Amino acid sequence: MAYRIALVDDDRNILTSVSMVLEAEGFGVTQYRDGAEALRGISAEPPDLAILDIKMPRMDGIELLQKLREKSQLPVIFLTSKDDEVDELLGLRMGADDYIKKPFSQRLLIERVRAVFRRLEAQKQMDQPGVSATSLKRGELVLDPAQHLCLWKGAAVNLTVTEFLIIQALAQRPGHVKSRDQLIDAAYGEHIYVDDRTIDSHIKRLRKKFREVDKEFGHIETLYGVGYKYNETSSPGATSQETE
């Protein structure tokens, strides 16, 4: 399958060079020079992945991601500069799957893109409706990897591929603590380097999404300095603690 990628950057040199690298790996690439143009194009012809620069005129990458997330869980990788730390974390909390700091190597870019598509393949939807026999059930939580379906108390929780893999890793062994490194391996693969704060941002986003369905949700517990764990019953005081 030839995956299609939307590449959004106001730097023509980056558009040209990155497109060449991606196309050499067999991906189809559509280029956009700014966020407004990209929003129209992506809405009309949704790709399989979007790679977004943060700093762009007319509509930056953060605003573009926000508008995309209103209707879609399209996987997104951010391209960030060294001084974009605040925007980078904001983007992750809004639901970006990954980020790459400029300047970056071609090998790193391809590794990150392939990691996203491996996760997509792992979560590919099946044709038949309903929850499959291979679903994971933990209390009120139901996860169906075959359909990329997450239910909490019967209500759907819309997760990105990365968020799904993180909650799945936690829920596989309730009460068992997963370190940030273990969650990175579960969500990104063993050979992809991701900063610890990336997992923290994804966890905050997960909690927010579950609380949109159930404001009392408090089943993902932080063990400071250790990691996270999933509890089948809400931990006392966890709800207020986890808003941080």
What residues make up the domain containing 147? 136-241
* Claim to verify: residue 152 and residue 179 sit in the same structural domain: yes
Number of domains the chain is built from: 2
The residue out of 88, 122, 156 marking a domain boundary is 122
pLDDT value at residue 133: 56
- Written as six digits, the tokens of 167 are 């909650």
* Claim to verify: residue 9 and residue 117 sit in the same structural domain: yes
Between 30 and 107, name the one with better pLDDT. 30
Has residue 74 been placed in a domain?
yes
> At a CB cut-off of 8 Å and minimum separation 6, what does 86 contact?
none
Q: At what angle do helices 106-122 and 12-24 cross, to 10 degrees?
A: 60
Has residue 30 been placed in a domain?
yes
With contact defined as beta carbons under 8 Å apart, do 52 and 65 qualify?
A: yes
Q: Exposed (0-12), middle (13-18) or buried (19+): which is 53, by Cβ within 10 Å? A: buried
* CA 50 – CA 63 distance, rounded (Å): 14
- Written as six digits, the tokens of 196 are 């610890």
pLDDT tens-digit series, residues 36-79: 999 999 999 999 999 999 888 889 888 999 999 888 889 999 88
Confidence of residue 239 (pLDDT cuts 50, 70, 90): very low
Q: What is the CATH number of the domain that holds 163?
A: 1.10.10.10
pLDDT value at residue 127: 37
* Claim to verify: residue 114 and residue 11 sit in the same structural domain: yes
Q: Exposed (0-12), middle (13-18) or buried (19+): which is 54, by Cβ within 10 Å? A: buried
Has residue 130 been placed in a domain?
no
The residue out of 66, 98, 122 marking a domain boundary is 122
* Claim to verify: residue 189 and residue 233 sit in the same structural domain: yes
pLDDT tens-digit series, residues 136-176: 899 899 998 877 789 999 888 988 888 999 999 999 999 99
Instruction: Give the alpha-carbon dihedral of 12, 15, 18, 22, to 10 degrees.
Output: -150
* Claim to verify: residue 149 and residue 56 sit in the same structural domain: no
pLDDT tens-digit series, residues 194-229: 777 888 989 998 999 999 999 999 999 999 889 999
* CA 60 – CA 10 distance, rounded (Å): 10
pLDDT tens-digit series, residues 123-138: 664 434 455 556 889 9
pLDDT value at residue 15: 94
Confidence of residue 237 (pLDDT cuts 50, 70, 90): very low
The alpha-carbon radius of gyration of the chain (Å, integer) is 18
Percentage of the chain surpassing pLDDT 90? Answer: 44
List phi, psi (to 5°) of 25.
-90, 0
* Claim to verify: residue 12 and residue 117 sit in the same structural domain: yes
